[in-house]
Amino acid sequence: MSKIILLNGAGSSGKTSIARAIQHLSNEQWLTFGVDTFIEMTPYPSPGKDAEYFAFVPGENNRGPLMRVESKPTGDKLFGVMADFALLLANQSNNLIIDEVLFDDQHLKSYVAKLAEHITYFIGVKCDLAIMQEREFLRRDRAVGLSNDQFYRVHSGTREYDLTVDTSNSSVFDVARKIIDFIDNNQNPKGFNNMRNKFYG
C-alpha cells in the first residue's frame, strides 16, 4: 500500500514547489508528476497547425486578463489516464505527489475510484489571486490569466480536503512541513473515503 498526496489548486498557487519541498524534507521517498507532465508530452503548437490536445482561449474580466484551457477530445483521452498512471506507479510501491488542477468532479471521481487500495491525502492548495497573478507575470513558462480563470473553478464541486494550505504568506518549505506533519499524525485520511461514499454509495 502506497501513500499518495494529491495537491489540487490553480496554476501558480505553488503546487509544484510544494511537491519538490516535500521530496527534499521528507524522510520518505516520493515520486512526483502532474498535469504539466502530461502537457509537456504534447506537440508544441506551430503556426498553421491546429492544436490537437488543448487550446488556450484568451479573455478578460473585472479581475484582469483571463486564459482558459479548453481540452479537445484527444486531450480528454490523454488527461483521462492520469489516475491510471498514478495507480500503475502506486501498485509498484511508489509513494506519489500528484500536482493537479481539477475543474470538475469527473477526473476526481477517477482518482477516488482507482486509488481505493492506497492511502491518499487530498490537499487543497490556495493562494490570493493577486499573488498568483504576480507570479504569472514574473514566470516565463506560464500563460498570463490562467490563475484568474482557475481561481474559483478548481475548488468547486465535491471537494472534501483532508487539509487545506495557503501559500499567500507562507514559505513553500513551511507549507511542505505542515503537510508532512499532517501525514505523520494522520494515518487514515478521510477525504477520499467520504467522497467515494458520495460518488458511489
| Contact residues for 98 (Cβ-Cβ < 8 A; gap 6+) | 4, 5, 6, 7, 32, 33, 34, 82, 86, 111
**What are the distances in angstroms from CA 132 to CA 64, 168, 199?**
12, 8, 32
The percentage of residues in the chain with a pLDDT greater than 90, rounded to a whole number, is 74
Supply the pTM of this predicted model: 0.93
The per-residue b/e assignment along 145-160, b for 16 or more CB within 10 angstroms, e otherwise, is: bbbbbbbeebbeeebb
Mean pLDDT score of the chain, rounded to an integer? Answer: 92
Report, as ranges of residue numbers, the positions in the chain whose pLDDT lies below 70. 45-50, 140-141
Cβ–Cβ < 8 Å for 161, 122? yes
Q: Give residue-wise pLDDT tens across range 118-135.
A: 999 999 999 999 999 989
| pLDDT for residue 141 | 66
